[in-house]
Amino acid sequence: MTQLKKRMVQLEVLRYDPEKDTEPRFQKYEVECNEEWVVLDALNAVKESLDPTLAYRWSCHMAVCGSCGMMVNGEPKLSCHAFLRDYEGVIRVEPLANFPIERDLVTVADDFIDKLKRVKPYLIPKEKKTIAEGEYKQTPAQLMKYRQFSMCINCMLCYAACPEYALQPKFIGPAAIALAHRYNLDSRDGGRDERQEVIATDVGVWECSFVGACSEVCPKAVDPAGALQQVKVASTLDWFKERLLPGGSK
């Protein structure tokens, strides 16, 4: 059997203990890792062999659950998807930027969860059907219209990359608006008006100045920046329709 190549990896991890620390501090670790490992494996090795107090979130280890988002050398990454072979020297690991730190690498996600609820990211059927009336049907073309935006795993990397969110925390933000757009584009959905009240506002899409960082860091190629620009175009068309078409004004 082939022997896996090993190397010593140096990590510089931001630590914060709310019961002892007034502010976060970096702590260095050196741990033996397999060359094929990811940053999350290195953290697990630290926790198992060097420091059981290190706190961080993770679950699936396969870029699906969206729990292990961290800043790796200043870049928002899923730590289960950040391969050690891509990094040289000391690897700096910090909690996701733009979120308060709960402890060590664990952030407070309450703000994102609240925003997610506000955009109603679920199907609001255009017409209610009983089970006896059958399923809501959709063609493959109708599915393709929103499919890309349905790939979001709520990992919050886009929020960590977004300077608008950093400067204006009221901003609903990339993932929540992209998910609202996903349901707005769904042929079975009739909830667009309700979502527009949240996303077509000055804390919604009009806070976005199209930096595009959200799409660059998205690990699932959702392209939230694209979703936000499409919402802007659709909202602008709404504005003109309301004023120019007969019976269009509210």
Partner 1 sequence: MSRKPYVRPVSKTGWWLKHPRYMRYMSREVTCVFIGAFALLLVCTLERLAKGPEAYASFIAAIQGPMSVMGMLLVLIFALHNATSWFNVTPKALPVQIGEEFLAGKYIIGAHYAVWAIASLVVLFFAGVI
Residue ranges binding partner 1 (CB under 8 A):
16, 18-19, 21, 23-24, 74, 97-98, 100-102, 108, 140-141, 144-145, 163, 166-167, 209-213, 215-216, 223, 225-226, 229-230, 232-233
Helix intervals (H) in the chain: 39-49, 110-118, 140-147, 157-161, 163-167, 174-184, 192-199, 213-217, 224-244
* Nearest-angstrom CA–CA distance, 57 and 69: 8
In terms of CB distance, is 61 or 145 closer to partner 1?
A: 145
Q: How far is the CB of 168 from partner 1 (least distance, A)?
A: 10
Q: Which is nearer to partner 1, 41 or 111 (CB)?
A: 111
Task: State residue 105 phi and psi, 5-degree precision.
Answer: -95, 10
Q: Which residue number, 24 or 190, has a Cβ lying nearer to partner 1?
A: 24
Sign of CA dihedral 183, 184, 185, 188: positive
Task: Report yes or no: 72 and 93 within 8 Å, Cβ to Cβ.
Answer: yes
Of 41 and 223, which CB lies nearer to partner 1 in the complex structure? Answer: 223
3-state secondary structure of 106: strand
| Minimum CB–partner distance for residue 130 and partner 1 (Å) | 30
Residue 216 Cβ vs partner 1, minimum distance, rounded to whole Å: 6
